[in-house]
């Protein structure tokens, strides 16, 4: 009997884990300290430190320094001739002539105008007095006639105009009802058409390459959407290349800017990639990047081609911007669950990947380090927070796929909160599930924009 009961319990737990959908579990009453980490509770839970992960690819770069452009002769700038300033109101220079009258001319003109005004005032006063007397006599007669006219007008309005207006308004109301019915049908038709996501159509530039640095060297120096083909065995695919920031060559692998794309996705979607690469803002090419995740397979492929650096740019809701840059950035293949390896930090956003959240201490801080972690989604738990326990999964609580530890100091793929500051009551599970970079804005501030860009690293850049 005990054996059957134990077998039934195992089958039920397995079934529940398979059928647990994103956000479909209740954490009410759970004792969770929602700060992006899960503080160690002595005697209750065991924290396992970061797994031994391979270091990022380093060494000689794929490229040498870029060739310098030939110097271009500068154009001569014509100097402005300073005009002498004579002061006062007479003139600035003899060549420019008189700018305005002298003081003497103004005095003569004003005296002449004063005499004219006095004569006009006397005439107007006499005319006004005569007119006032005539109007007083006529007002008494007009008042009696006005009362009779008003009485007749009111009677006509009540008997004729009001009923007519009511009929007209009833007709307008009927027409509005018909328009509302048509709009409801149109909305329903739009919903049917919009079941499938819309795809942006943009002309593909002629220039292409292995990645954005290769495209830059081939002449593609405009920031826009391009086709890349990292190797001969892979199919080409679309990416957005930033060719202006820090000398260009950046391949955009992640972008959040308006919350238009849901990042709470399954493992397969993060593996393939999702979102909108770029849009045409009316210039005939896709120069405006959209919200998207390039795809873990593609990110891994590009970073394993050689030494790669990553640039993470952030913006808050006041327009302030910071960045974090790592000179070495490698994502392993799916067989290792896309282990993250970074090194060589610089920037002013805070080194969350290697040091964790600086507002925490001891093991609480080490729980927020992302370096060496495997990728996790809500249907594939690879974090360090009690692996295998479906009620303790960072990706389920924190809104998106990421290299969660237990859980994060950075959460770029979290839920998008408009306005920045949010609270435990606003969060789905009371945890800091926003677009968070703790070392800049803390746990309870969701950034307006954040992007991740990669390019080949070479020392002579």
In sequence order, the β-bridge partners of residue 346 are: 325
Nearest to 236 by CA among 262, 210, 269: 210
* pLDDT at res. 92: 46
Map tokens 């360090």 to a residue. 384
What's phi and psi for 157, nearest 5 deg? -65, -45
Residue 50, number of CB atoms within 10 A of its CB: 15
How far apart are alpha carbons 20 and 390 in whole angstroms?
8
Backbone φ/ψ region at 284: left (φ over 0), alpha (ψ -120 to 50), beta: left
In sequence order, the β-bridge partners of residue 225 are: 240
Helix (H) or strand (E) holding 239: strand 237-242
How far apart are alpha carbons 396 and 459 in whole angstroms?
40
DSSP label at residue 31: -
Instruction: Give Dmax (Cα) for the chain.
Output: 123
Nearest to 270 by CA among 395, 373, 392: 395
Map tokens 């003497």 to a residue. 104
What is each CA distance from 114 to 23, 117, 118, 119, 127, in whole angstroms? 85, 5, 6, 9, 21
What would you report as the CA-atom Rg of the chain, rounded to the nearest whole angstrom? 37
Residue 206, number of CB atoms within 10 A of its CB: 10
* pLDDT at res. 48: 64
User: What stretches in the chain show pLDDT beneath 70?
Assistant: 1-51, 68-115, 117, 120-122, 124-142, 196-201, 460-461
Domains in the chain, start-ordered, CATH in brackets? 212-456 (3.90.215.10)
What's phi and psi for 216, nearest 5 deg? -60, -45
Map tokens 């006529």 to a residue. 138
DSSP label at residue 336: G
* pLDDT at res. 335: 95
Q: How far is CA 337 from the centre of its chain?
A: 29
How far apart are alpha carbons 8 and 17 in whole angstroms?
14
List CB contacts of 457: < 8 A, sequence separation 6 or more.
Answer: 61, 306, 307, 308, 309, 327, 328
* pLDDT at res. 274: 97
List CB contacts of 461: < 8 A, sequence separation 6 or more.
Answer: 65, 66, 247
């Amino acid at each position: 009997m005990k054996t059957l009961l134990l077998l039934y319990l195992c089958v039920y737990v397995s079934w529940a884990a398979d059928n647990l959908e994103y956000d479909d579990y209740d954490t009410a009453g759970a004792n969770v300290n929602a700060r992006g980490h899960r503080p160690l509770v002595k005697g209750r839970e065991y924290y396992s430190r970061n797994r031994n992960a391979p270091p990022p690819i380093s060494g000689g770069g794929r490229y040498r320094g870029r060739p310098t452009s030939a110097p271009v002769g500068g154009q001569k700038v014509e100097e402005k001739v300073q005009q002498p300033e004579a002061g006062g109101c007479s003139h600035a220079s003899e060549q420019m002539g008189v700018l305005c009258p002298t003081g003497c001319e103004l005095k003569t003109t004003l005296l002449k105008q004063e005499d004219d005004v006095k004569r006009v005032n006397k005439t107007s006063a006499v005319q006004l007095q005569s007119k006032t007397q005539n109007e007083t006599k006529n007002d008494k007669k007009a008042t009696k006639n006005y009362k009779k006219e008003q009485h007749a007008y009111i009677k006509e309005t009540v008997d004729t105009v009001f009923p007519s207006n009511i009929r007209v308004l009833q007709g307008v109301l009927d027409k509005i009802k018909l328009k509302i019915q048509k709009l409801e049908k149109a909305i329903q038709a739009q919903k049917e058409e919009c079941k499938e996501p819309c795809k942006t159509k943009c002309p593909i530039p002629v220039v292409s390459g292995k990645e954005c640095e290769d495209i830059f060297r081939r002449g593609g120096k405009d920031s826009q959407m391009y086709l890349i083909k990292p190797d001969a065995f892979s199919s080409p695919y679309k990416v957005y290349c930033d060719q202006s920031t820090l000398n260009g060559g950046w391949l955009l692998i992640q972008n959040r800017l308006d919350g238009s794309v849901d990042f709470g996705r399954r493992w397969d979607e993060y593996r393939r990639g999702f979102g909108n690469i770029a849009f045409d803002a009316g210039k005939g090419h896709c120069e405006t990047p959209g919200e998207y995740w390039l795809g873990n397979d593609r990110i891994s492929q590009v970073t394993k081609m050689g030494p790669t650096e990553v640039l993470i740019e952030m913006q808050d809701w006041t327009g302030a911007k910071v960045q974090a840059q790592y000179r070495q950035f490698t994502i392993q293949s799916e067989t290792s669950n896309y282990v993250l390896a970074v090194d060589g930090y610089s920037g002013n956003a805070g080194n969350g990947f290697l040091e964790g959240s600086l507002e925490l201490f001891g093991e609480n801080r080490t729980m927020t380090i992302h370096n060496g972690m495997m990728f996790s989604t809500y249907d594939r738990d690879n974090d360090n927070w009690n692996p295998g326990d479906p009620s303790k999964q960072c990706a389920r609580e924190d809104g998106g796929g990421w290299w969660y530890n237990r859980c994060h100091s950075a959460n770029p793929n979290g839920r998008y909160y408009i306005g920045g500051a949010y609270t435990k009551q606003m969060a789905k599970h009371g945890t800091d599930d926003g677009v968070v970079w703790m070392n800049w804005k803390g746990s309870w501030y969701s950034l307006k924009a954040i992007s991740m860009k990669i390019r080949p690293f070479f020392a002579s850049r």
